Amino acid sequence: MKYIPPDVGDNKVIYKGKRYWIVEFSGKDKIDGFGSENCQFVMYDKDKNGILAYIDMKHGEYFATLAWGIDDFTRSFSNIKDVVQGVVDMDRYYAKHCFG
């Protein structure tokens, strides 16, 4: 399967996995219409070719919110690797329990 990376422009990729990237909005360019005015980071799913989660950092913790869904589904994490695994888990849980 071929994954499609996002055009991050002048922003910084802080995590590069095979399928998921986390991009910090360090520049002015946007990804899928989102930029630093919306959140500090995004988690991008290269398989679905879109943003999977919006991420902000407050008081040394990362707060990730799924980009899709009906409810505000947010969790906190202490580091980037935990964000990746946690968002994947949230995505699977939400998809299973809301859409069967």
Q: Tell me the pLDDT tens digit for each residue of 34-65.
A: 999 999 999 999 999 999 999 999 999 999 99
pLDDT at residue 100 tops 70: no
Decide: 5 and 21 in contact? Cβ < 8 Å: yes
Across-strand partners of 74?
A: 65
Task: For residues 39 and 83, give the distance between their C-alpha atoms in angstroms, rounded to a whole number.
Answer: 15
Q: What angle do CA 92, 37, 22 make, to 5 degrees?
A: 40
Contact between 44 and 6 (Cβ < 8 Å): yes
Question: Nearest-CA neighbor of 17 among 90, 84, 92, 86?
Answer: 84
Domain ranges of the chain: 12-99
